[in-house]
Every structure is written in structure tokens, then in C-alpha cells.
Amino acid sequence: MHMLETNAAEREYFERQNKNGKAAWRRIVRVTTGDLPSWARVTTRTGDAVEPRSTDQVTTKQVTTGDEAIEPTPQKVESLREFLARRRAEQAASQAVHEVAGEADDDDALNTLADD
């Protein structure tokens, strides 16, 4: 079983991402730990059944440009956690800026200036 399999916070973070964010998260986790939790694997729908897509075509050697596969050491896992925490903080800050910009549009003074 993968070390992130039961991590609810990590799963919630992953599920909130768009397709590019999910792909980046998968790439980082696969390179760092060598595998993905079952809930992060790409799936395809065939009728009513959902089957995992084969990831045999991508190997860690291809991802790491031919170097030896990266061993998941505690330092590398901690580095991954720090990276993901920074990414979450950047996204939260970006979202806050967009929310503030949205509030500015509702400001009566700005609407009055726009009408002039």
C-alpha cells in the first residue's frame, strides 16, 4: 500500500486540482516515491466499469532523464511535502487576489467612475 493511500488531506488537495495540477502532482509523487496511491491513478471509463489505465509506458528512468531511480528517503519525502505546501500557499494567495479583485468590482466608487 502506498504511503499516501490513507492521507485524506492529500487526496482532497489532489481532487481540487485541474488536469495540469493533477499531472504535476502525479509526476512528483511517482518520481519521489516510485508509485502512486490508487486514488491518483488515471482511469478510463468503459461502459459502466472503471479500469485503471496502464502506466507501463512511463518509467522513472525516463522521468529522471536516464539517471538511477530516486529512492524514497525521509528527506526526499519531506522535500516533497514542503514543495506541495508551498504550491498550496501560492494557489491560496492567487485565489485571495482574485477574490479581492472581484470585491473591487462591486465597489460603488469604482462603478461610479466607470459610468462617467
Whether 78 shows a pLDDT value over 80: the answer reads yes
Report which residue type is found at 25. Answer: W
More confident residue, 114 or 92: 92
- Mean pLDDT to the nearest integer, 17-24: 89
Q: What is the pLDDT of residue 88?
A: 92
Taking Cα atoms as reference points, which of 88, 79, 75 lies closest to residue 10? Answer: 88
Q: What is the pLDDT of residue 82?
A: 93
Q: What is the pLDDT of residue 3?
A: 84
Highest mean pLDDT: which of 61-65, 66-70, 73-77, 101-105? 73-77
More confident residue, 46 or 91: 91
Residue with cell 477574490: 99
Q: What is the pLDDT of residue 85?
A: 93
Report which residue type is found at 61. Answer: K
Whether 12 shows a pLDDT value over 80: the answer reads yes
Q: What is the pLDDT of residue 49?
A: 56
Whether 62 shows a pLDDT value over 90: the answer reads no
